[in-house]
Amino acid sequence: MDDPVFAERYRAMSSRDARFDGQFITGVHSTGIYCRPSCPATTPKPANVSFFLTAAAAHEAGLRACKRCLPDAVPGSPAWNIRDDLAARAMRLIGDGTVEREGVPGLASRLGYTPRHLTRVLVAEVGAGPLALARAHRAQTARVLLTSTDLSITDIAFAAGFGSVRQFNDTIAAVYERTPSALRAGARPAANRGPTHPRDTDAPEDGDTPGGTGSRISLFLPARAPFDGQGLLDFLGVRAITGVERRTPTGYERTLRLPHGWASLHLAPAGTTAAPTIACTVSLASLADLAPLVSRVRRLFDLDADAQAIDLALADDPALADSVRRVPGMRVPGSLDPEETLFRALLGQQVSVASARTALGNLSAALGEPLPGHPGPDSSGPPDPAEHATDPAGIALPGMPRLLFPTAERIAENGRDVLRGPVARINAIIGVAEALAAGELVLDVGESSEELQARLTALPGIGPWTAGYVAMRVLGSPDILLTSDLALRQGADRLGLPATARDLAAHGNRWAPWRSYAGMHLWRAAGSPRPAGPPASPREPVGPVTLRR
């Protein structure tokens, strides 16, 4: 108890404070289990307790998951978004399934280090190496599928990223001290699980990779309260690209490319105010993409953010206190597709929301790829009732998403035939597409914010605003304040804050490390559905620049 960090965590555990669920794990050596901080079990003596940052570290210490509190059924740690060091970048990539797809050497290569050095850093920082961390992530994914879907045991094994059914069974037994069937039997009744539609093909043999035409799965992804889910849906809805995504009466749906194929998903707020969730219904070409999809949806909705800590810090500023009170739990929207986010930022500069959506819709209609099994936008056939949905006010909604956003290769090859506007902007978009297609520019969650922004601004036509905006969305960087944005400064002025970029930046230092969230409050105050960006400069006609006065 002489260690202040231990003492703080022990107090949180003793009070069963649910705010700390997912932020650390309580290991109880006298019973051999690990729990979430809010576990209702009897408080153990300090001498019998160790605290871990990850479930993998608890596994490495010989502990198994508590059957009562299910410590992995909580939002993840916000530390991997707040931190931007090697360990945090590795954790983001592991969550995205990089180890399953590329192995530890591939993970290390993406981060620019040797596997030995990466393992040494992760063991020192989070208590487990990349293989153990990936194993724990697979086990957690498997538990969610076992307890919330009716997928076969074999399908779940491969969907969670295991190489064989035998490896899956051994891991579940080691982590949960139960067989997969027993873990499923102890969950809620099958009638209460989300609907699934497994493949009709026979289950593969041990060690085979499943094939087939896809599965439809429904999951509930927990968020940390408070959670402004409707605000995120509004943010996404006003940007919805016809054919690729749309706002629905109950949520948001879109198409998406994943490492092994396409996906079509519907997302909607669910749960309660105290325990919010996102209901995720997804159709997948390959079950192997389920874990990466879940990771990306969590990042899109910023589900792991420590909302109470953020709101408490921002409310210390009297200028933001009322906004925080009116909209608690505001989130920074993430990105499902980093390359798409960059193209959207470039096409959306210095134009209205309607103009940006039109340009992106035209680009997608011309160069996007129809979902397999679905007709393209020009196909004839019987009308689909889903194409004529209306919102609660009876206003017609755009048609069901059936197109995948164009790849960088297609934009590089044919973009000039479709894009309209200033030549300099078109040149910049084509230049970015060519760099992405050639592998000269790589966008993923393993980048550091500083490196990503430097790499983007080195490209012709990309200024600081675009680079900062992309870093905020793609990496979930919590501490980016885009002071050159006109709408953001208008919102600041309405709240009585400095309205010049320099003065607002100076005032915003007090919001660190949550300046991205403060910016969301400023955009909300401006009544703007999207960041507007600064006006074009003769010296930088495409990318936004710091406003000069």
CA torsion 417-431-348-238 (nearest 10°) is 80
- 374: CB partners within 8 A, 6+ apart: 402
CA torsion 391-396-397-402 (nearest 10°) is 140
Bridge partners, residue 276, by sequence: 271
Q: Is 35 an active-site residue?
A: yes
Q: Strands of 44-165 (E only): list them.
A: 49-52, 64-65
Q: Phi/psi at 254 (nearest 5 deg)?
A: -165, 170
| 243 in Cβ contact with 306 (< 8 Å) | no
The rounded Cα 115 to chain-centroid distance in angstroms is: 26
Q: Which DSSP state fits 38?
A: T
- 471: CB partners within 8 A, 6+ apart: 449, 452, 453, 456, 477, 480
Q: Which of 39, 378, 485, 493 is catalytic?
A: 485
| 84 in Cβ contact with 57 (< 8 Å) | no
Q: Which of 35, 39, 69, 280 is catalytic?
A: 35
Q: Give the CA distances from residue 305 to residues 35, 73, 93, 252, 301, in Å, rounded to whole numbers and listed in that order.
A: 20, 16, 18, 21, 9
Of 421, 361, 363, the closest CA to residue 541 belongs to 421
Of 133, 112, 127, 129, the closest CA to residue 448 belongs to 112
Q: Is 485 an active-site residue?
A: yes
Long-range contacts of 70-73 (CB under 8 A, 24+ apart): 70/36, 70/143, 71/21, 71/25, 71/34, 71/35, 71/36, 71/39, 72/139, 72/140, 72/143, 73/143, 73/144, 73/222
Q: Give the CA distances from residue 1 to residues 11, 34, 131, in Å, rounded to whole numbers and listed in that order.
A: 10, 19, 32
Task: Look at the block and give the residue holding tokens 């003596």.
Answer: 45
Q: Which residues are catalytic?
A: 35, 485
